[in-house]
Amino acid sequence: MRILIVEDDTTIAEYIAKGLRESGFTVDHAADGNDGLNFALNTEYDAAIIDLMLPGRDGLSIIAEMRSRTIETPVLILSARQSVDDKVSGLQAGGDDYLTKPFSFAELQARLQALIRRSSRTPSESKLQVGNLVLDRFTREVTREGTPIILHAREYGLLEYMMNNAGRVITKTMILEHIWDYSFNPQTNVVEVLMHRLRSKVDKPFADNLISTIRGVGYVLTDQKN
């Protein structure tokens, strides 16, 4: 899942981003309102965390502009403003929840996941399935043939990304951008190491392999029986 953070306080933004990435989310960060709106209008997100007091453009105007363009990304407003009027203004502008600073990361993550859950149009959208491999995006449980598979955060993020793109070839560069959010030296082997760990859990214990290497191109996850 991809999350947008619009927050000008670098310490707070890095704290949130680090926690979300460790939990398997992909995160984009904008430090001012104009960049935040640009991200929100041009990239599809599962949710956005938006501060109210921002340079360039305030958070309320970002949310209002998103809603005027029928962008329904769930928004968690993050603000030091604690009055009832401020909370009402934020929700009336199109925010979906309001969290005041200071806050605990555990509460922020719980509220974020609740927003994503509520925004899902149908129960089936919470689950991804390829053959006998099933991933539940909300409980973060992964099973194959009914057998639970325990994955670390980046293994889970890679599998979710591949299942979202089942049948499509995923290149090394695409994986670096989506799982690490930035590019490494092209000679790095972090993708190969992560893919090896994932395959050892998703494919090795079972009769059929779902993940294939397309030599010189990348990887593809598909139900080979179809």
Residue 21 contacts by C-beta under 8 Å, 6 or more apart in sequence?
27, 153, 181
Q: For residues 55-86, b (16+ Cβ closer than 10 Å) or e, as one string?
A: eebbbbebbebbeeeebebbbbbbbebeeeeb
Q: Residue 185: what pLDDT?
A: 58
Q: Residue 79: what pLDDT?
A: 86
Tell how strand 218-221 and strand 211-214 pair up.
antiparallel
Tell me phi and psi for residue 185, to 5 degrees: -55, 130
Question: Of 182, 18, 45, which is closest to residue 108 (Cα–Cα)?
Answer: 18
Q: CB of 195 within 8 A of CB of 201?
A: no
- CA 46 – CA 119 distance, rounded (Å): 9
Residue 159 contacts by C-beta under 8 Å, 6 or more apart in sequence?
135, 142, 151, 198, 202, 221
Q: CB of 89 within 8 A of CB of 45?
A: no
Match 């030091």 to its residue by tokens.
80
Q: Residue 181: what pLDDT?
A: 58
Q: Which residues pair with 129 in a beta bridge?
A: 134
List, in sequence order, the alpha helices (H) in 103-152: 105-119
Q: What is the DSSP letter of 88?
A: H
Q: Residue 123: what pLDDT?
A: 47
Output the CA torsion 115→103→100→111 (10° steps): 10
**Cα dist. 12→31, 54, 84, 90, 103 in Å?**
11, 13, 23, 20, 10
Question: Of 55, 99, 54, 95, which is closest to residue 79 (Cα–Cα)?
Answer: 99
In a 13 Å sphere around the CA of 145, the CA atoms on its Cβ side amount to: 9
- CB count within 10 Å of CB 197 equals 15
**Cα dist. 26→9, 36, 169 in Å?**
19, 16, 20
Tens of pLDDT along the chain (226 residues) come to 789 999 999 999 999 998 888 888 889 999 999 999 999 999 889 999 999 999 999 999 999 999 999 898 999 999 887 777 878 888 888 888 999 888 889 899 888 988 887 776 444 467 899 999 999 887 889 999 999 999 988 899 899 989 988 888 888 888 887 777 554 555 678 889 999 999 999 999 999 999 999 888 899 999 865 4
